[in-house]
Amino acid sequence: MADRIVVFGATGYTGELIAARLVAAGVRPVLAGRSENRLSALAERLGGLEWTRADAMRQNTVFDLVGPPDVLVSTVGPFVKWGLPAARAAVAAGCTYIDTSGEPEFIRRLFDELDGPASRSGARLLPSLSYEFAAGTLAGALALDEAGDGAARVDVGYYALGAGPTSLSAGTRESLVGVTVGDHFAFRDGAVSTVRAAERVRSFEVDGKSREAVSIGGAEHYALPATYQGLREVNVYLGGLGPLSRALQAGSLVGTAVQKLPLARPTMRFWGERAVSLVGGPDAGTTGDVRSDIVAEALDAGGEVLARVELVGPDPYDFTASLIAWAAQREVSGAAGVLGPISAFGLSDFEAGARSAGLARTP
């Protein structure tokens, strides 16, 4: 187990949940964030924990958080804006890094730009060890294992059943703006390439209904091919949008054209973030009516489904907090670099960790 577990962004919605899970497991994490008042109040509520001020806009304060034996958990989003200092701090320290990012643009940057430096420093970076996209990586790996050597493609679909705008934290809503206007990617023909958001729409059978979903970039595009060498294609889909799936696909075509105009993307991001800030978010522990449902299908080169896996669990925030609390206490067995959870822990151990966080395969 690590000498210290530092939770950066501890006073945010997800950060507080993770810190509380660690305390419940008998761990005393170090809390880090911008607000001294909020940090000290949270540290007192959780039993007199150590805390320290750190700000992504002052990178030296983030670099001072960790040393080689530590684990740095980052929940500071939107990650495209604020996430890199923590990842770079982990690389500089040669420590383990875990984040909750669901932002394709940030995920791709870590895999493409920091894998080499992390390998050289001995750091192990685990991006998106959360509902999106760790749960889909597990579902995809289980389907591929069941399908065997004939699998050439895997499709993953995410559905948070019962979720609505007010069930999303402020940080999640702001990150979703970046996901909407940012670049996306997919693993096609044996390589990761840039694609537009919602390029594809397909349906999965979930909870007795056929439900549409739109394609997005995800950590699975990197994590699954690293373990399953025969893969030629990975598709990740976000569901729960109903008839809006087709509208979003059409809108992405228009958005791609508009974003070519000077300053269009930062302007869209600016106003989008302000618009979502007007929607109320949940209080801690109040999203229990939301159910996570993740489907993965492994297919052969001709498109025939060889295996199907469906995982069901608690709401995404609950699952994420429990999974990260589990992972932060485990030794990462994978080689240094930017890792998916299967490479980091092995399939059987990671499946056990996800099960302990409430995510289990349906019969």
* Cβ-Cβ contacts under 8 Å for 306 (sequence gap 6 or more): 146, 147, 148, 150, 151, 298, 299, 300
One domain, residues 270 and 233: yes
Sort strands 209-216 and 124-126 into parallel, antiparallel or unpaired. Answer: unpaired
* Cβ-Cβ contacts under 8 Å for 89 (sequence gap 6 or more): 59, 62, 63, 65, 66, 72
One domain, residues 166 and 305: yes
- Local structure of 14: helix, strand or coil: helix
One domain, residues 205 and 340: no
Q: Which residue is listed with tokens 């685990």? A: 126
Mean pLDDT across the chain: 86
- Which pLDDT score, from 0 to 100, does residue 361 have? 95
Backbone angles phi, psi at 180, to 5 degrees: -70, -40
Residues 33-68: pLDDT tens digits? 999 999 999 999 999 999 999 999 999 999 999 999
Nearest to 204 by CA among 162, 170, 241: 241
Q: Is the pLDDT of residue 1 over 90?
A: no
Residues 146-188: pLDDT tens digits? 999 999 999 999 998 875 545 554 555 444 444 455 578 999 9
Q: Is the pLDDT of residue 118 over 70?
A: yes
CA 201 – CA 215 distance, rounded (Å) = 6
CA 204 – CA 213 distance, rounded (Å) = 8
Residues 297-330: pLDDT tens digits? 999 999 999 999 999 999 999 999 999 999 999 9
One domain, residues 195 and 49: no
One domain, residues 123 and 215: no
Is residue 164 within 8 Å of 325, Cβ to Cβ? no
- Which pLDDT score, from 0 to 100, does residue 198 have? 81
One domain, residues 304 and 327: no
What is the percent of the chain with per-residue pLDDT over 90, rounded to a whole number? 73
CA 108 – CA 84 distance, rounded (Å) = 12
List the end-to-end C-alpha distance of the chain, in Å, as a whole number. 34
- Structural domain for 203, as ranges: 131-316
**Domain of 114: which CATH number?**
3.40.50.720
Is residue 157 within 8 Å of 295, Cβ to Cβ? yes
Beta-carbon neighbour count of residue 350 at 10 Å? 24
One domain, residues 254 and 342: no
One domain, residues 191 and 309: yes
Domain ends where: 279, 294, 316? 316
pTM: 0.86
Backbone angles phi, psi at 306, to 5 degrees: -95, -30
**Domain of 227: which CATH number?**
3.30.360.10
CA 204 – CA 28 distance, rounded (Å) = 42
Backbone angles phi, psi at 153, to 5 degrees: -145, 150
One domain, residues 272 and 295: yes
Please list the residues that pair with 156 across neighbouring strands.
236, 296
One domain, residues 281 and 239: yes
Q: Is the pLDDT of residue 124 over 60?
A: yes
> How is the beta sheet containing 71-74 ordered, strand by strand?
51-53, 30-33, 5-8, 71-74, 96-99, 124-126, 337-338
Tell me the mean pLDDT in the region 85-111.
96
One domain, residues 100 and 212: no
Nearest to 18 by CA among 71, 91, 84, 81: 71
Q: How many domains does the chain have?
A: 2
CA 168 – CA 81 distance, rounded (Å) = 19
Is residue 97 within 8 Å of 90, Cβ to Cβ? yes
One domain, residues 261 and 353: no
